[in-house]
Amino acid sequence: MKEKDQLAALLPPQTIPYAERMNMPYLGYHLLRETLTSTLLGDSENHILYWIGKNMGRQIPIQSATGPIMPFIRLGLGQLDVVEETGQTIVYSLTHSIFSYQSIERLGFSLSFEAGIIAGMIEQWKEREAFSKIEMDSPSDIRICVQVAS
């Protein structure tokens, strides 16, 4: 029995294998993430991106704390690693080559999307409310901390 693609709830399943084989410039994606969302969403950007991400994340099935790693790679969102998993808390580190070219302030807004996706995935897996926050010391040291409700 063929396992259902984790991303099938977000994208038309027939397009996923084709899109993953494409080799496209990253500049267009970066333009959408940095310019369009900022212009369109204004001061509410981080809240809206978190909400959209959380909604999308709930649609991506995972079975463990490491479950978000492969969807992040496949979607080009960066390299996600589990740093710590204790009780109701999971801490991830997130790296991407583009982060070093962005300001901490800009990353704080735009990474709300990624934080929301992770919170939604964890919420779906644990079947309890989950919240995440971004902690950054530099563009090369980004952590997403997820807290699961008791």
| pLDDT at residue 9 in the model | 84
Q: How far apart are CA 71 and CA 122, in angstroms?
A: 13
pLDDT, one tens digit per residue, over 44-97 is 999 999 999 999 999 999 999 999 999 999 998 999 999 999 989 999 999 998
3-state secondary structure of 142: strand
Q: How far apart are CA 75 and CA 89, in angstroms?
A: 24
Strand partners, 126: none
- Return the C-alpha torsion angle 11, 15, 21, 25, nearest 10: -60
Instruction: Kindly give the interhelix angle for 45-57 and 112-126, rounded to the nearest 10 degrees.
Output: 30
pLDDT, one tens digit per residue, over 89-130 is 999 999 998 888 888 888 998 999 999 999 999 999 999 999
Q: Report the CATH fold assignment for 25-148.
A: Muramoyl-pentapeptide Carboxypeptidase; domain 2 (3.30.1380)
Q: List Cα–Cα distances, 129 to 115, 123, 140, in angstroms.
A: 14, 5, 29
3-state secondary structure of 76: coil
